[in-house]
Structure 1
Amino acid sequence: MAKIFCVANQKGGVGKTTTTVNLAAGLASIGQRVLMVDLDPQGNATMGSGVDKRALQSSVYDVLLGSASVQQAAVRAQACGYQVLGANRELSGAEVELVDLEQREKRLKNALAAVDAQYDFILIDCPPSLSLLTLNGLCCAHGVIVPMQCEYFALEGLTDLVNTIKQVHANLNPDLQIIGLLRVMFDPRITLQQQVSEQLKSHFGDKVFDTVIPRNVRLAEAPSYGLPGVVFDPAAKGSQAFVAFAHEMVGRVRRM
């Protein structure tokens, strides 16, 4: 049975997509069967996995509206070792079309149930806003991975996200919980980042992942080549950190 995790943060620009594709590639590199679901109409996670969003025969849009199954719409990211349920601009129209459909918040959950046995991990890249798309992700997830920078405004965004997760947990998905906070783009030379990191650890305890993803040029360059950093430059510090994070995730899942 697959473990389903949303990578979410209501603050933009915190590295959600980078985290999703690199964790997917890291998990695949250690032998896990992975499906990466792109729920963002920009389709960055799709392109960052080496899949051309413009050439998709079917996408997550078709899955949400019921015109294709996950099995029909998912494609193999050959260089990365995982399956991709891609997104493109069509998805931006799904918000309006989903409103009148039955079980509109659980369309993705019902679709993923059919392929549950085929994967060890299903990772969902959520858009930054709280929308029907994000709700679909949160309703089918066992937990949320929250990538965050160790900066003051990141703490404010975290409060909003925790409140959202509590509401979804209470009303739509009793299984939903925060799996952990992942410190990303971390620079130990900056005193404020060290202070915020310590605040996170003292407040959230073991909900903060041990792995820290450093600020890394190679991770930033990788999307322009249509690859996760883990595949683009496996020797880079950022790539090695994501593989370490993949090992930590597998360990955490076994303890769940």
Structure 2
Amino acid sequence: MILVYEHASNRSLDNYLGSTDSSTNLTWVQRLKIGIDIARGLNYLHTRVEDEQRIIHRDIKSGNILLGKNWVAKIADFGLSRFHHTNQRESLYTENVAGTKEYLCPEYMKTGRLKRAIDIYSFGVVLFEILFGKLANDPVYVSEDENGIAYVARRHFEERTIHEMVDPKIMEEVDELTSTLHKGPNQDSLKVYLEIAYRCVAITQNDRPTAKDVLEELEKVLSSQVSRYFLWHEV
């Protein structure tokens, strides 16, 4: 059996995080739309697969997010995924804890407990990567905590210093029509984005939101951002 994907003309998300090439910089709105696409894909896998089966991906990471035409993001690489029937109430367990270290759910690593929440944790890591513009295993994070970006981001969030970690490229976006600095994230959209990303990387699985919750919150962020942008232009 094989999986066939359409050509991802813009490669994978990890190619653009931490890149020093200004020509590959993703705008804040593009990043939000990529996050929404991932959330929509996860929501489908977790709730809407045929024959009443759900899929736990187990390896959500920026390298497995393919970017196609118009920067539409799609989840790829189902080599580690597991089916979970909707009528199967008990939790799944595995002795083979697999995935990429910096994206792995702490509870999953300790107990082998397989729930959809492990994908949400990994997605939270990706959300922080998208916002900070660096990969989860970037030396700047690993030097602070060997577990990578999620642990560092969680600590900075609780200490209210997380704004210092936001990618300066999106904070300095210029509107080409007016040459003014106002296309980056506004405070309302950034606040909601940070809160949902923080909830995704909660230590325990039961404290994390569902993919549907994340999707709804990210859509709010995009709506707030777009509304602010058009309001600015009208003024």
Q: Which has the higher strand share?
A: 1
TM-score of the two chains, using structure 1 as the length reference: 0.28
Higher relative contact order (CA 8 A, sep 6+): 1
Which structure's CA Rg is the greater one? Answer: 2
